[in-house]
Chains A and B, each alone.
Chain A
Amino acid sequence: MLLEAKNISFRYDKKSPLVLENQSFSVKSGEVVGLFAPSGYGKSTLAMVMAGYLRPESGQVLLDGAPLPEKGICPVQLIYQHPEKAINPRWKLRRVLEESGKLRQDVLASFGIEQEWLDRYPRELSGGELQRFCVARALMSGADFLICDEISTMLDVITQAQIWNKILAEAKERNMGIVAVTHNLNLAKRICTRVYDLAKGEEVEI
Protein backbone atom coordinates (compact mmCIF):
# COMPACT_ATOMS: atom_id res chain seq x y z
CA MET A 1 0.00 0.00 0.00
CA LEU A 2 1.05 3.58 -0.54
CA LEU A 3 0.13 6.61 1.56
CA GLU A 4 0.78 9.89 -0.24
CA ALA A 5 0.54 13.53 0.73
CA LYS A 6 0.42 15.38 -2.57
CA ASN A 7 1.18 19.11 -2.88
CA ILE A 8 -0.27 19.88 0.53
CA SER A 9 -0.79 23.49 1.53
CA PHE A 10 -2.36 24.36 4.83
CA ARG A 11 -3.03 27.37 7.03
CA TYR A 12 -4.92 27.53 10.31
CA ASP A 13 -7.10 30.44 9.22
CA LYS A 14 -7.52 32.57 6.15
CA LYS A 15 -5.51 35.50 7.47
CA SER A 16 -2.54 33.58 8.84
CA PRO A 17 0.47 32.57 6.73
CA LEU A 18 0.80 29.09 5.23
CA VAL A 19 2.15 26.51 7.67
CA LEU A 20 2.65 23.97 4.91
CA GLU A 21 3.34 25.09 1.39
CA ASN A 22 3.10 22.60 -1.45
CA GLN A 23 4.57 19.72 0.56
CA SER A 24 4.67 16.23 -0.89
CA PHE A 25 5.65 13.14 0.99
CA SER A 26 4.90 9.45 0.78
CA VAL A 27 5.36 6.22 2.66
CA LYS A 28 4.96 2.60 1.55
CA SER A 29 3.94 -0.47 3.53
CA GLY A 30 6.92 -1.93 5.31
CA GLU A 31 8.76 1.39 5.53
CA VAL A 32 9.58 3.40 8.64
CA VAL A 33 10.13 6.96 7.49
CA GLY A 34 11.59 9.56 9.82
CA LEU A 35 10.21 13.08 9.44
CA PHE A 36 12.64 15.81 10.46
CA ALA A 37 12.39 19.61 10.61
CA PRO A 38 13.09 22.40 13.07
CA SER A 39 10.41 23.04 15.67
CA GLY A 40 7.56 25.18 14.34
CA TYR A 41 8.06 23.94 10.80
CA GLY A 42 4.76 22.12 10.47
CA LYS A 43 5.69 18.52 11.27
CA SER A 44 2.74 18.00 13.59
CA THR A 45 0.46 19.81 11.16
CA LEU A 46 1.51 17.51 8.33
CA ALA A 47 1.00 14.52 10.64
CA MET A 48 -2.56 15.65 11.36
CA VAL A 49 -3.29 16.30 7.69
CA MET A 50 -2.04 12.84 6.71
CA ALA A 51 -4.20 11.14 9.34
CA GLY A 52 -7.29 13.05 8.22
CA TYR A 53 -7.57 15.26 11.32
CA LEU A 54 -7.13 18.42 9.27
CA ARG A 55 -8.32 19.19 5.75
CA PRO A 56 -5.64 20.77 3.57
CA GLU A 57 -6.33 24.05 1.81
CA SER A 58 -5.05 22.47 -1.39
CA GLY A 59 -3.53 19.13 -2.26
CA GLN A 60 -4.63 15.62 -1.39
CA VAL A 61 -3.93 12.75 0.94
CA LEU A 62 -4.29 9.48 -0.96
CA LEU A 63 -4.21 5.87 0.18
CA ASP A 64 -3.48 3.69 -2.84
CA GLY A 65 -4.74 6.51 -5.03
CA ALA A 66 -8.04 7.05 -3.22
CA PRO A 67 -8.91 9.66 -0.56
CA LEU A 68 -9.02 8.48 3.07
CA PRO A 69 -12.40 6.96 4.00
CA GLU A 70 -14.61 9.34 5.96
CA LYS A 71 -16.48 6.66 7.88
CA GLY A 72 -15.33 3.85 10.14
CA ILE A 73 -11.91 3.40 11.68
CA CYS A 74 -9.35 5.30 9.66
CA PRO A 75 -6.64 3.03 8.20
CA VAL A 76 -4.15 5.81 8.98
CA GLN A 77 -3.86 6.26 12.73
CA LEU A 78 -2.15 9.17 14.44
CA ILE A 79 -0.39 8.76 17.78
CA TYR A 80 -0.07 12.14 19.31
CA GLN A 81 2.73 13.91 21.15
CA HIS A 82 0.54 14.65 24.19
CA PRO A 83 -1.38 11.54 25.30
CA GLU A 84 -3.45 13.53 27.80
CA LYS A 85 -4.95 15.47 24.89
CA ALA A 86 -5.70 12.34 22.84
CA ILE A 87 -7.92 10.56 25.36
CA ASN A 88 -11.43 11.48 26.42
CA PRO A 89 -10.95 12.50 30.07
CA ARG A 90 -14.46 11.36 31.00
CA TRP A 91 -14.12 7.82 29.70
CA LYS A 92 -12.64 4.98 31.66
CA LEU A 93 -9.65 3.51 29.90
CA ARG A 94 -11.45 0.29 28.97
CA ARG A 95 -13.87 2.33 26.88
CA VAL A 96 -10.97 4.31 25.39
CA LEU A 97 -9.36 1.09 24.18
CA GLU A 98 -12.54 -0.65 23.09
CA GLU A 99 -13.38 2.23 20.80
CA SER A 100 -10.83 0.83 18.38
CA GLY A 101 -12.10 -2.77 18.50
CA LYS A 102 -11.68 -5.91 20.50
CA LEU A 103 -9.07 -5.87 23.26
CA ARG A 104 -5.97 -7.87 22.39
CA GLN A 105 -4.41 -9.38 25.48
CA ASP A 106 -1.02 -9.78 23.80
CA VAL A 107 -0.88 -6.03 23.12
CA LEU A 108 -1.99 -5.17 26.67
CA ALA A 109 0.61 -7.53 28.11
CA SER A 110 3.42 -6.24 25.96
CA PHE A 111 2.74 -2.70 27.14
CA GLY A 112 2.37 -3.70 30.77
CA ILE A 113 -1.20 -2.45 30.88
CA GLU A 114 -2.64 -3.95 34.03
CA GLN A 115 -6.25 -5.12 34.13
CA GLU A 116 -7.06 -2.80 37.04
CA TRP A 117 -5.96 0.25 35.03
CA LEU A 118 -8.82 -0.42 32.62
CA ASP A 119 -11.28 0.72 35.28
CA ARG A 120 -9.45 3.96 35.93
CA TYR A 121 -9.94 7.42 34.52
CA PRO A 122 -7.11 8.96 32.47
CA ARG A 123 -6.24 11.55 35.13
CA GLU A 124 -5.26 8.75 37.52
CA LEU A 125 -2.37 7.61 35.33
CA SER A 126 0.94 9.26 34.44
CA GLY A 127 1.75 10.57 30.97
CA GLY A 128 3.97 7.61 30.20
CA GLU A 129 1.26 5.17 31.21
CA LEU A 130 -1.32 6.98 29.09
CA GLN A 131 0.95 6.95 26.07
CA ARG A 132 1.07 3.16 26.24
CA PHE A 133 -2.74 3.17 26.00
CA CYS A 134 -2.57 5.44 22.95
CA VAL A 135 -0.11 3.15 21.19
CA ALA A 136 -2.11 0.05 22.15
CA ARG A 137 -5.29 1.67 20.86
CA ALA A 138 -3.67 2.47 17.52
CA LEU A 139 -2.27 -1.05 17.14
CA MET A 140 -5.57 -2.72 18.06
CA SER A 141 -7.44 -0.69 15.45
CA GLY A 142 -5.81 -2.76 12.72
CA ALA A 143 -4.51 0.33 10.94
CA ASP A 144 -2.28 -0.04 7.87
CA PHE A 145 -0.31 3.11 8.58
CA LEU A 146 0.77 4.69 11.85
CA ILE A 147 1.86 8.28 12.17
CA CYS A 148 3.87 8.66 15.34
CA ASP A 149 4.33 12.30 16.34
CA GLU A 150 7.11 12.48 18.94
CA ILE A 151 5.46 9.62 20.78
CA SER A 152 8.34 8.80 23.09
CA THR A 153 9.81 12.16 24.11
CA MET A 154 7.96 12.11 27.42
CA LEU A 155 8.94 8.52 28.20
CA ASP A 156 11.96 7.12 29.95
CA VAL A 157 14.41 5.41 27.62
CA ILE A 158 13.49 1.90 28.76
CA THR A 159 9.80 2.48 28.06
CA GLN A 160 10.79 4.13 24.78
CA ALA A 161 12.70 1.03 23.73
CA GLN A 162 9.83 -1.22 24.86
CA ILE A 163 7.20 0.71 22.89
CA TRP A 164 9.26 1.07 19.73
CA ASN A 165 10.37 -2.55 19.70
CA LYS A 166 6.72 -3.60 19.97
CA ILE A 167 5.59 -1.21 17.23
CA LEU A 168 8.37 -2.35 14.90
CA ALA A 169 7.59 -6.03 15.53
CA GLU A 170 3.89 -5.52 14.89
CA ALA A 171 4.62 -3.40 11.80
CA LYS A 172 6.83 -6.13 10.39
CA GLU A 173 4.28 -8.83 11.08
CA ARG A 174 1.41 -6.95 9.47
CA ASN A 175 3.48 -5.06 6.87
CA MET A 176 2.40 -1.66 8.17
CA GLY A 177 3.94 1.63 7.08
CA ILE A 178 5.15 4.07 9.73
CA VAL A 179 5.93 7.77 9.80
CA ALA A 180 8.01 8.76 12.81
CA VAL A 181 8.22 12.46 13.64
CA THR A 182 11.22 12.92 15.90
CA HIS A 183 14.02 15.26 16.90
CA ASN A 184 16.12 12.40 18.17
CA LEU A 185 18.76 11.52 15.62
CA ASN A 186 19.91 8.45 17.50
CA LEU A 187 16.37 7.12 17.68
CA ALA A 188 15.86 7.79 13.97
CA LYS A 189 19.03 5.87 13.16
CA ARG A 190 17.68 2.92 15.11
CA ILE A 191 14.14 2.72 13.79
CA CYS A 192 13.95 4.39 10.36
CA THR A 193 14.52 2.92 6.94
CA ARG A 194 14.88 6.46 5.55
CA VAL A 195 14.57 10.06 6.76
CA TYR A 196 12.83 12.96 5.05
CA ASP A 197 13.71 16.56 5.93
CA LEU A 198 10.65 18.80 5.63
CA ALA A 199 12.73 22.00 5.63
CA LYS A 200 14.93 20.86 2.77
CA GLY A 201 12.13 19.03 0.99
CA GLU A 202 14.29 16.00 0.36
CA GLU A 203 15.56 12.78 1.79
CA VAL A 204 18.64 13.09 4.00
CA GLU A 205 21.37 10.74 5.14
CA ILE A 206 21.61 10.13 8.86
Chain B
Amino acid sequence: MKAHNENLLEIHDLSVSFRMYDSALEQKELQVISDLHLTVRPGEIVAVAGSSGSGKSLLASAILGILPSNATVKGHLHYKDGELTAETQAKLRGSEIALVPQSVAFLDPLMKVGKQADGHKKPYPTEKRRGIFKRFGLPEKTETLYPFQLSGGMARRVLVSTALITEAQLIIADEPTPGMSLEQAKEALSMFREMANEGKSIILITHDIDLAFDFADRIAVFYAGTTVEIAPAEDFRKGPEALRHPYSKALWRALPQNEFKPIDGFQPYAGSLPTGCLFAPRCPHATDECRSKTPPVREIRGGEVRCFHAT
Protein backbone atom coordinates (compact mmCIF):
# COMPACT_ATOMS: atom_id res chain seq x y z
CA MET B 1 0.00 0.00 0.00
CA LYS B 2 2.86 2.36 0.76
CA ALA B 3 3.71 2.50 -2.96
CA HIS B 4 0.67 4.65 -3.67
CA ASN B 5 0.82 8.31 -2.94
CA GLU B 6 -2.44 9.33 -4.45
CA ASN B 7 -5.45 9.48 -2.26
CA LEU B 8 -8.58 7.57 -3.09
CA LEU B 9 -10.68 9.87 -0.94
CA GLU B 10 -9.80 13.32 0.24
CA ILE B 11 -11.89 15.42 2.55
CA HIS B 12 -11.00 18.85 3.82
CA ASP B 13 -12.74 21.77 5.52
CA LEU B 14 -15.92 19.75 5.66
CA SER B 15 -18.80 21.18 7.59
CA VAL B 16 -22.30 19.84 8.00
CA SER B 17 -25.15 21.74 9.56
CA PHE B 18 -28.82 21.05 10.09
CA ARG B 19 -31.60 23.57 9.74
CA MET B 20 -33.89 23.12 12.68
CA TYR B 21 -36.95 24.78 14.11
CA ASP B 22 -36.09 26.50 17.34
CA SER B 23 -39.29 27.97 18.66
CA ALA B 24 -42.48 28.45 16.68
CA LEU B 25 -41.31 29.52 13.22
CA GLU B 26 -37.76 30.51 14.16
CA GLN B 27 -35.20 28.47 12.33
CA LYS B 28 -31.63 27.94 13.38
CA GLU B 29 -28.58 26.27 11.94
CA LEU B 30 -27.02 23.59 14.07
CA GLN B 31 -23.44 22.96 13.04
CA VAL B 32 -22.53 19.34 13.78
CA ILE B 33 -19.32 18.92 11.75
CA SER B 34 -16.76 21.68 11.36
CA ASP B 35 -13.33 21.88 9.68
CA LEU B 36 -13.14 18.13 9.38
CA HIS B 37 -10.43 16.50 7.30
CA LEU B 38 -9.60 12.92 6.35
CA THR B 39 -7.68 11.18 3.58
CA VAL B 40 -7.87 7.56 2.54
CA ARG B 41 -5.28 5.93 0.31
CA PRO B 42 -5.79 2.82 -1.80
CA GLY B 43 -5.13 -0.36 0.17
CA GLU B 44 -5.52 1.30 3.51
CA ILE B 45 -7.71 0.84 6.57
CA VAL B 46 -8.35 4.16 8.25
CA ALA B 47 -10.07 3.79 11.59
CA VAL B 48 -12.23 6.66 12.78
CA ALA B 49 -12.46 6.82 16.56
CA GLY B 50 -13.83 9.42 18.89
CA SER B 51 -16.65 10.27 21.21
CA SER B 52 -20.24 9.23 20.66
CA GLY B 53 -21.96 12.02 18.79
CA SER B 54 -18.74 13.43 17.33
CA GLY B 55 -20.04 13.18 13.78
CA LYS B 56 -18.58 9.83 12.74
CA SER B 57 -21.78 8.44 11.25
CA LEU B 58 -22.66 11.79 9.71
CA LEU B 59 -19.35 11.73 7.87
CA ALA B 60 -20.35 8.37 6.37
CA SER B 61 -23.67 9.83 5.25
CA ALA B 62 -21.93 12.92 3.84
CA ILE B 63 -19.56 10.79 1.73
CA LEU B 64 -22.46 8.75 0.39
CA GLY B 65 -24.73 11.74 -0.10
CA ILE B 66 -27.51 10.34 2.03
CA LEU B 67 -27.94 13.13 4.59
CA PRO B 68 -31.51 14.28 5.21
CA SER B 69 -32.76 17.22 3.18
CA ASN B 70 -32.43 19.77 6.01
CA ALA B 71 -28.65 19.26 6.05
CA THR B 72 -26.16 21.62 4.39
CA VAL B 73 -22.73 20.30 3.41
CA LYS B 74 -19.81 22.61 2.71
CA GLY B 75 -16.18 21.88 1.94
CA HIS B 76 -14.27 19.56 -0.37
CA LEU B 77 -14.97 15.93 -1.00
CA HIS B 78 -12.72 14.35 -3.63
CA TYR B 79 -13.02 10.78 -4.82
CA LYS B 80 -10.40 9.51 -7.27
CA ASP B 81 -10.00 12.32 -9.83
CA GLY B 82 -13.18 14.21 -9.30
CA GLU B 83 -15.28 16.18 -6.90
CA LEU B 84 -17.99 14.15 -5.20
CA THR B 85 -21.26 15.70 -6.28
CA ALA B 86 -24.80 14.56 -5.65
CA GLU B 87 -24.78 12.94 -9.11
CA THR B 88 -21.52 11.05 -8.72
CA GLN B 89 -22.51 9.98 -5.24
CA ALA B 90 -25.75 8.51 -6.54
CA LYS B 91 -23.78 6.59 -9.16
CA LEU B 92 -21.03 5.37 -6.83
CA ARG B 93 -22.92 4.33 -3.74
CA GLY B 94 -23.76 0.67 -3.58
CA SER B 95 -21.32 -0.14 -6.39
CA GLU B 96 -17.96 1.61 -5.86
CA ILE B 97 -18.63 2.80 -2.34
CA ALA B 98 -20.38 0.44 0.05
CA LEU B 99 -21.72 1.04 3.53
CA VAL B 100 -22.01 -1.27 6.49
CA PRO B 101 -24.71 0.60 8.41
CA GLN B 102 -24.52 1.12 12.14
CA SER B 103 -27.91 -0.20 13.12
CA VAL B 104 -29.04 -3.77 12.62
CA ALA B 105 -32.44 -2.19 11.91
CA PHE B 106 -31.14 -1.54 8.36
CA LEU B 107 -31.84 -5.17 7.48
CA ASP B 108 -35.10 -5.63 5.58
CA PRO B 109 -37.38 -7.26 8.16
CA LEU B 110 -39.47 -9.02 5.51
CA MET B 111 -36.66 -10.66 3.56
CA LYS B 112 -34.66 -13.76 4.40
CA VAL B 113 -31.13 -12.73 5.25
CA GLY B 114 -29.38 -14.97 2.72
CA LYS B 115 -31.33 -13.42 -0.11
CA GLN B 116 -30.77 -9.86 1.06
CA ALA B 117 -27.04 -10.39 1.54
CA ASP B 118 -26.86 -11.64 -2.07
CA GLY B 119 -28.12 -8.26 -3.22
CA HIS B 120 -30.03 -7.44 -6.37
CA LYS B 121 -27.29 -7.83 -8.98
CA LYS B 122 -27.34 -10.94 -11.12
CA PRO B 123 -25.74 -13.40 -11.16
CA TYR B 124 -26.28 -13.69 -7.41
CA PRO B 125 -23.00 -14.26 -5.53
CA THR B 126 -24.58 -17.05 -3.48
CA GLU B 127 -21.51 -19.29 -3.27
CA LYS B 128 -19.23 -16.44 -2.22
CA ARG B 129 -21.78 -15.32 0.37
CA ARG B 130 -22.06 -18.84 1.80
CA GLY B 131 -18.28 -18.87 2.16
CA ILE B 132 -18.35 -15.61 4.10
CA PHE B 133 -21.23 -16.77 6.32
CA LYS B 134 -19.22 -19.90 7.04
CA ARG B 135 -16.10 -17.95 7.97
CA PHE B 136 -18.24 -15.93 10.34
CA GLY B 137 -19.46 -19.12 12.00
CA LEU B 138 -23.07 -18.52 10.96
CA PRO B 139 -24.90 -21.87 10.84
CA GLU B 140 -26.03 -22.98 7.37
CA LYS B 141 -29.69 -22.46 8.10
CA THR B 142 -29.06 -18.77 8.88
CA GLU B 143 -29.72 -17.82 5.25
CA THR B 144 -33.30 -18.99 5.54
CA LEU B 145 -34.02 -16.90 8.64
CA TYR B 146 -35.57 -13.46 8.92
CA PRO B 147 -33.72 -10.66 10.77
CA PHE B 148 -35.95 -10.88 13.88
CA GLN B 149 -34.86 -14.49 14.34
CA LEU B 150 -31.19 -13.51 14.68
CA SER B 151 -29.34 -12.41 17.79
CA GLY B 152 -27.65 -8.99 17.79
CA GLY B 153 -24.25 -10.45 16.99
CA MET B 154 -25.59 -12.64 14.18
CA ALA B 155 -27.42 -9.74 12.55
CA ARG B 156 -24.22 -7.71 12.73
CA ARG B 157 -22.27 -10.46 10.95
CA VAL B 158 -24.91 -10.58 8.20
CA LEU B 159 -24.62 -6.80 7.76
CA VAL B 160 -20.85 -6.99 7.41
CA SER B 161 -21.20 -9.84 4.89
CA THR B 162 -23.29 -7.62 2.62
CA ALA B 163 -20.34 -5.27 2.15
CA LEU B 164 -17.71 -7.99 1.87
CA ILE B 165 -19.58 -9.50 -1.08
CA THR B 166 -19.56 -6.34 -3.18
CA GLU B 167 -16.80 -5.28 -5.54
CA ALA B 168 -16.61 -1.85 -3.93
CA GLN B 169 -13.36 0.13 -3.94
CA LEU B 170 -14.22 1.88 -0.72
CA ILE B 171 -16.09 0.34 2.18
CA ILE B 172 -17.38 2.51 4.98
CA ALA B 173 -18.02 0.26 7.95
CA ASP B 174 -19.97 2.11 10.63
CA GLU B 175 -19.39 0.26 13.89
CA PRO B 176 -19.40 -3.22 12.42
CA THR B 177 -18.40 -5.15 15.55
CA PRO B 178 -20.67 -4.47 18.58
CA GLY B 179 -22.37 -7.61 19.86
CA MET B 180 -19.77 -9.85 18.23
CA SER B 181 -17.49 -11.95 20.37
CA LEU B 182 -13.82 -11.06 20.30
CA GLU B 183 -13.06 -13.91 17.87
CA GLN B 184 -15.85 -12.86 15.51
CA ALA B 185 -14.79 -9.23 15.64
CA LYS B 186 -11.23 -10.21 14.83
CA GLU B 187 -12.45 -12.39 11.98
CA ALA B 188 -14.47 -9.49 10.57
CA LEU B 189 -11.50 -7.15 10.79
CA SER B 190 -9.12 -9.65 9.24
CA MET B 191 -11.53 -9.95 6.31
CA PHE B 192 -11.36 -6.17 5.95
CA ARG B 193 -7.58 -6.43 6.20
CA GLU B 194 -7.50 -8.98 3.37
CA MET B 195 -9.60 -6.67 1.19
CA ALA B 196 -7.25 -3.78 1.94
CA ASN B 197 -4.27 -5.93 1.04
CA GLU B 198 -5.94 -6.50 -2.34
CA GLY B 199 -5.94 -2.72 -2.87
CA LYS B 200 -9.34 -1.73 -1.55
CA SER B 201 -9.84 0.96 1.05
CA ILE B 202 -11.77 0.81 4.27
CA ILE B 203 -13.02 3.50 6.60
CA LEU B 204 -13.61 1.72 9.88
CA ILE B 205 -15.76 3.74 12.25
CA THR B 206 -15.40 2.09 15.62
CA HIS B 207 -15.45 2.32 19.39
CA ASP B 208 -13.44 -0.87 19.68
CA ILE B 209 -10.30 1.19 19.33
CA ASP B 210 -8.05 -1.46 20.85
CA LEU B 211 -8.96 -3.74 17.91
CA ALA B 212 -8.38 -0.89 15.48
CA PHE B 213 -4.87 -0.47 16.87
CA ASP B 214 -4.05 -3.91 15.51
CA PHE B 215 -5.89 -3.90 12.18
CA ALA B 216 -5.83 -0.32 10.89
CA ASP B 217 -3.02 1.55 9.15
CA ARG B 218 -3.96 4.96 10.46
CA ILE B 219 -6.36 6.19 13.08
CA ALA B 220 -8.30 9.44 12.88
CA VAL B 221 -9.64 10.78 16.15
CA PHE B 222 -12.79 12.92 16.04
CA TYR B 223 -14.05 15.22 18.75
CA ALA B 224 -17.17 17.39 18.65
CA GLY B 225 -17.37 17.18 14.85
CA THR B 226 -13.78 17.85 13.93
CA THR B 227 -10.60 15.85 13.37
CA VAL B 228 -8.21 16.39 16.28
CA GLU B 229 -5.52 13.90 15.30
CA ILE B 230 -4.57 11.47 12.54
CA ALA B 231 -1.78 9.12 13.50
CA PRO B 232 -0.28 5.82 12.40
CA ALA B 233 -1.95 2.95 14.29
CA GLU B 234 1.49 2.04 15.56
CA ASP B 235 1.55 5.18 17.74
CA PHE B 236 -1.61 4.02 19.49
CA ARG B 237 -0.01 0.64 20.15
CA LYS B 238 2.95 2.39 21.74
CA GLY B 239 0.83 4.47 24.09
CA PRO B 240 0.15 8.06 25.12
CA GLU B 241 3.74 9.30 24.80
CA ALA B 242 3.67 8.56 21.07
CA LEU B 243 0.34 10.37 20.60
CA ARG B 244 -0.10 14.07 19.95
CA HIS B 245 -3.49 15.35 21.02
CA PRO B 246 -4.59 15.36 24.69
CA TYR B 247 -7.94 13.85 23.69
CA SER B 248 -6.25 10.89 21.93
CA LYS B 249 -4.18 10.34 25.05
CA ALA B 250 -7.32 10.47 27.19
CA LEU B 251 -8.99 7.86 24.96
CA TRP B 252 -6.01 5.57 25.37
CA ARG B 253 -6.04 5.98 29.15
CA ALA B 254 -9.78 5.31 29.45
CA LEU B 255 -9.45 1.81 27.98
CA PRO B 256 -10.24 -0.83 30.61
CA GLN B 257 -6.90 -2.57 29.98
CA ASN B 258 -5.10 0.70 30.64
CA GLU B 259 -6.26 3.01 33.41
CA PHE B 260 -10.08 2.99 32.98
CA LYS B 261 -10.05 6.61 34.13
CA PRO B 262 -12.34 9.06 32.35
CA ILE B 263 -11.37 12.70 32.00
CA ASP B 264 -13.77 15.19 33.56
CA GLY B 265 -16.51 16.89 31.63
CA PHE B 266 -18.43 16.08 28.48
CA GLN B 267 -18.21 16.76 24.80
CA PRO B 268 -19.92 20.09 24.03
CA TYR B 269 -23.32 19.85 22.42
CA ALA B 270 -23.50 21.00 18.79
CA GLY B 271 -25.72 23.96 19.72
CA SER B 272 -23.28 25.31 22.29
CA LEU B 273 -19.79 24.85 20.90
CA PRO B 274 -17.06 26.89 22.61
CA THR B 275 -14.97 29.35 20.63
CA GLY B 276 -11.40 28.37 19.89
CA CYS B 277 -10.30 24.79 20.35
CA LEU B 278 -13.33 22.57 20.89
CA PHE B 279 -11.46 20.47 23.44
CA ALA B 280 -10.18 23.43 25.48
CA PRO B 281 -12.88 23.26 28.22
CA ARG B 282 -11.67 19.75 29.18
CA CYS B 283 -8.01 20.17 28.41
CA PRO B 284 -5.42 20.36 31.20
CA HIS B 285 -3.04 22.34 28.98
CA ALA B 286 -5.52 24.93 27.67
CA THR B 287 -4.33 28.53 27.52
CA ASP B 288 -6.03 31.78 26.51
CA GLU B 289 -4.89 31.21 22.94
CA CYS B 290 -6.72 27.84 22.90
CA ARG B 291 -9.90 29.46 24.19
CA SER B 292 -9.93 32.18 21.55
CA LYS B 293 -8.51 30.71 18.33
CA THR B 294 -9.15 27.47 16.45
CA PRO B 295 -5.84 25.63 16.23
CA PRO B 296 -4.72 24.85 12.66
CA VAL B 297 -3.76 21.35 11.52
CA ARG B 298 -0.04 20.75 12.05
CA GLU B 299 2.19 17.89 11.00
CA ILE B 300 4.15 16.47 13.87
CA ARG B 301 6.19 13.27 13.98
CA GLY B 302 4.48 11.73 10.96
CA GLY B 303 0.97 12.53 12.14
CA GLU B 304 -1.46 15.42 11.97
CA VAL B 305 -2.82 17.23 14.98
CA ARG B 306 -5.09 20.17 15.67
CA CYS B 307 -3.52 21.54 18.84
CA PHE B 308 -1.32 24.55 19.65
CA HIS B 309 0.67 22.74 22.29
CA ALA B 310 1.29 19.31 20.77
CA THR B 311 4.93 18.36 20.37
How many chain B residues touch the partner (CB < 8 A)? 37
Judging by beta carbons under 8 Å apart, are A158 and B182 in contact? no
Within A157-193, which residues are at the interface with B (CB < 8 Å)?
157-162, 164-165, 183-187, 189-191
B262 in contact with A158 (CB, 8 Å): yes
B52 touches A128 (CB 8 A): yes
Measured between beta carbons, the chain B residues less than 8 angstroms from A88 are none
In the complex, B260 has a CB within 8 A of chain A: yes
Least Cβ–Cβ distance between B278 and chain A, in angstroms: 15
* Cα–Cα distance between A144 and B45 once the two chains are bound (Å): 45
Instruction: Tell me the chain B residues, 243-285 only, with Cβ under 8 Å from chain A.
Output: 250-251, 254-257, 260-263, 265-266, 269
Tell me whether A183 and B181 are in contact in the complex, defined as CB-CB below 8 angstroms, given that A154-B52, A158-B250, A161-B261 are known contacts. Answer: yes
**Of the residues A39, A114, A125, A164, contact of B152 by C-beta under 8 Å:** A39
B189 within 8 A of A: no
A-B contacts at CB below 8 angstroms, number:
98
**Contact at B51–A128, with CB atoms within 8 Å?**
yes
The reply to whether A39 and B257 contact each other, CB–CB distance below 8 Å, is no
Report chain A residues within 8 Å CB of B266.
112
- One of B72-80, B162-170, B172-180 contacting the partner: B172-180
Closest A residue by C-beta to B269: A114
CB pair A158 B180 closer than 8 Å = no
Q: Is there a chain B Cβ closer than 8 Å to A129's Cβ?
A: yes
A126 touches B52 (CB 8 A): yes
Tell whether A126 pairs with B53 under 8 Å between CB atoms, given A157-B255, A160-B254, A185-B182.
yes
**Chain A 74-99 against B: per-residue CB contact (8 Å), 1 yes, 0 no?**
00000001101000000000000000
CB of A155 closer than 8 Å to a CB of B: yes
Chain B proximity of A53: nearest CB distance (Å): 15
**Complex contact B256–A184 (CB within 8 A):** yes
Partner of A156, one of B52, B154, B179, B260: B52
Asked if residues B154 and A161 are in contact (CB atoms below 8 Å), the reply is no
Minimum CB–CB distance from A206 to chain B (whole Å) comes to 12
The verdict on A186 contacting B51 (CB below 8 Å), with A155-B207, A158-B250, A158-B262 known, is no
A-B contact pairs, 24 of them (CB 8 A): A38-B153, A39-B153, A39-B179, A39-B181, A40-B153, A41-B151, A84-B103, A126-B52, A126-B53, A128-B52, A155-B207, A156-B207, A156-B251, A158-B51, A158-B251, A159-B52, A161-B256, A165-B262, A183-B179, A184-B256, A186-B256, A186-B257, A187-B256, A189-B257
Which 7 pairs show the lowest CB-CB distances between chains A and B? A128-B52, A39-B153, A112-B266, A126-B53, A153-B178, A186-B257, A161-B262
Binding site for B on A (CB under 8 A): 38-41, 44, 81-82, 84, 112, 114, 125-129, 150, 153-162, 164-165, 183-187, 189-191
